[in-house]
Amino acid sequence: MSKKKRRPQPVPVDGLHNIFDAHTHLYSHKDSDAALVERARAAGVTRMVTVGDDMEESRAVVETARQFPDVFAAVAIHPTRAGQLDDAARAELEQLAQDPDCVAVGETGLDTYWIKHSPEDTAPLEVQEEALRWHAGLAARVGKTLMIHNREADADLLRVLATVPEQKKVMLHCFSSPLEVAKQALDRGYVLSFAGNVTFKRNEQLREAARLAPASQLLIETDAPYMTPEPFRGQRNEPALIGHTWQCVADVRGVSVQQLAEDLAPTFTDVFGV
């Protein structure tokens, strides 16, 4: 093996087709949407959901979804920016969420990590909770999946989600919580979506959760440009690199990547309606 630093390549490169990326941020990448989509297609990605984290991004992701038949949008104000959810933002999100190319409301949720590490720039927890409840109401009204961000807020999140209106589906994006939380979430019917951190050596509990989840409650995502899977950890992530994460989840479930792609394709359709 060469010691030279490898450039990111879609891996595995041979024969992979009909995989998806259930949560990505095309808008946050330095490359154009067209370049990212083209490389993703070459890596076997046939469907992806691009996520807006504020109003500017939410408008942009719906536009992107209109341009590419294999790209779909999710719109919301990110929990750390929940203070931006004013009346004008609510009115516009109501419209955007009804767009046929918008398949989910999110990411919304709770984030105590940034409250601890950057309190000046982060909405307080009670503001985040109110925004989460509003987004959950919107998702229920438009009949689309509620896409959840959770960073170090397991107990509060489970408490709030137990009391929101009934949802089409609740998807826990970039699932990173302990196994016990995974089991509770699966019992409630939530869908766990795993990102590149499932490949990190220390995250044995995440791999166990990915092994336990029924195919009907399992998705795979990049959360690009963050959460780059091994062996490219530390580099900028993009949908074309998602094969590594698929491979890792397939390995823990004891199936081939292509079998896993077949097993999970209906889940993507079930969750996003496309």
The response to whether 270 counts as a known ligand-binding position is no
Contact 75, 58 (CB under 8 A): yes
Per-residue binder mask for Zn ion (CB under 5 A), 177-206, x = binder: ------------------------------
The CB-of-51 to Zn ion minimum distance in angstroms stands at 5
Q: Which residue has tokens 């067209």?
A: 34
Contact 259, 16 (CB under 8 A): no
The CB-of-40 to Zn ion minimum distance in angstroms stands at 16
The CB-of-25 to Zn ion minimum distance in angstroms stands at 6
Please choose, from the candidates 198, 203, 200, the residue with its C-alpha nearest in 3D space to the C-alpha of residue 173.
198
Whose Cβ is closer to Zn ion: residue 146's or residue 257's? 146
How many residues touch Zn ion (CB under 5 A)? 1
Beta-sheet strand order (sheet of 19-24): 19-24, 45-51, 71-75, 102-111, 145-151, 170-172, 191-194, 218-220
Instruction: Cis check for the bond before 225: say yes or no (omega within 30 of 0).
Output: yes
CA–CA separation, 160 vs 133, rounded Å?
Answer: 8
The response to whether 117 counts as a known ligand-binding position is no
Residue 24, beta-bridge partner list: 50
Whose Cβ is closer to Zn ion: residue 16's or residue 172's? 172
The response to whether 208 counts as a known ligand-binding position is no
CA–CA separation, 193 vs 201, rounded Å?
Answer: 18
The CB-of-72 to Zn ion minimum distance in angstroms stands at 14
Chain residue whose CB lies nearest Zn ion: 223
Whose Cβ is closer to Zn ion: residue 147's or residue 185's? 147
Contact 191, 271 (CB under 8 A): yes
The response to whether 121 counts as a known ligand-binding position is no
Whose Cβ is closer to Zn ion: residue 114's or residue 253's? 114
CA–CA separation, 121 vs 138, rounded Å?
Answer: 25
| Alpha-carbon distance values, 201 to 10, 117, 135 (Å) | 20, 25, 34
Per-residue binder mask for Zn ion (CB under 5 A), 202-241, x = binder: ---------------------x------------------
Whose Cβ is closer to Zn ion: residue 16's or residue 27's? 27
The reply to whether 57 sits near Zn ion by the rule CB under 5 A is no
The response to whether 107 counts as a known ligand-binding position is yes
Whose Cβ is closer to Zn ion: residue 80's or residue 199's? 80
- Known binding-site positions for a divalent metal cation: 23, 25, 107, 149, 173, 223
- Known binding-site positions: 23, 25, 107, 149, 173, 223
Which residues of the shown chain bind Zn ion in the complex (CB under 5 A)? Answer: 223
